[in-house]
Amino acid sequence: MTSVRNAEKIEPMPERAREDVVPIQRRSLHDEVASRVRDMIIEGQLAAGARLNETELGLQLGVSRTPLREAIKTLASEGLIELIPAKGAIVRRFSKVDVRHMLEAIKALEQFAGRLTCTRASQDEIDEILGLHRTMLVRYRSRNRLAYYKLNQSIHSAIVRGAHSPTIAEMHEILQARLKRIRYIGNGEPEKWAAAVAEHEQMAEALRSRDGDALAEVLGLHMDRTLERVRDVL
């Protein structure tokens, strides 16, 4: 007699369903620690110019020195931390001139990439950016500032990736990493935050219509105003 177990027929997963399944992303302890320390720098818990006490930070995060030191090396490669002989790891401090020069460079990269994205990006890529924008607005309405900020940065990165120029994307990633804390504090006041959101609304509209000139214009304006928003707190 055939058992119930053997009689059951397991239907194969449809091809379409298999394609839609998103693999679970496993993060290493090093990646997790780097992400936590990066957030602490962005939010100002680790102030610019502060020396990292590995013992205290390891206890705070509940990790040993090995993953912590690997995370610090990663953040040093991003430009958020400086490794200084005889002093150790220091949260990097940028001057007003440093910030102005980096924002000028990001402005040029994003304007050029924005024009290319409006002609080169697929509709799926455009839709993905617009989806990020909608989620970012939800975070803005709930005043979840860090989650909003991360989506904000993801949008800028996605616009640059849409240009399909690996060189531009690599240069942009380097500069964006160094400016994480600076751009985060630009949304510290409600009116400044609201103005930044309004500029992102204009970006989304330009993307929808694939208007490269309009997108480049608002990206440039956004970077100019970013410098104005952070000038007083540098």
- Give the pLDDT of residue 27: 64
Mean pLDDT for the chain? 87
AA letter at 96: K
48-80 residue pLDDT tens: 889 999 999 999 999 998 999 999 999 998 888
Once rounded to an integer, what is the mean pLDDT over residues 13-29?
Answer: 49
- Give the pLDDT of residue 177: 86
Once rounded to an integer, what is the mean pLDDT over residues 109-122?
Answer: 98
CB proximity list for 187: less than 8 A, separation 6 or greater: 145, 148, 149, 193, 196, 229
27-35: list long-range contacts, CB under 8 Å, 24+ apart. 29/63, 29/67, 30/67, 30/70, 30/71, 30/74, 33/61, 33/63, 33/67, 33/68, 33/70, 33/71, 34/70, 34/71, 34/74, 34/75
Q: At what angle do helices 29-42 and 54-61 cross, to 10 degrees?
A: 110
**Domains in the chain with CATH codes:** 29-91 (1.10.10.10), 96-231 (1.20.120.530)
177-223 residue pLDDT tens: 888 888 888 878 899 999 999 999 999 999 999 999 999 999 999 99
User: CA 216 from chain center: how many Å?
Assistant: 20
- Give the pLDDT of residue 86: 84
CB atoms within 10 A of CB 58: 17
Residue 80 sits at φ, ψ, to 5 deg, of: -85, -25
Is the dihedral angle over the CA atoms 65, 66, 68, 74 positive or is it negative? positive
Asked if 42 and 86 touch (Cβ cutoff 8 Å), the reply is: no
Torsion of CA 175, 178, 180, 185, to 10 degrees: -110
Least confident of 20-29, 49-58, 75-84, 146-155: 20-29
Structure tokens at 102: 């980096």
AA letter at 37: V
pLDDT at 7 over 60: no
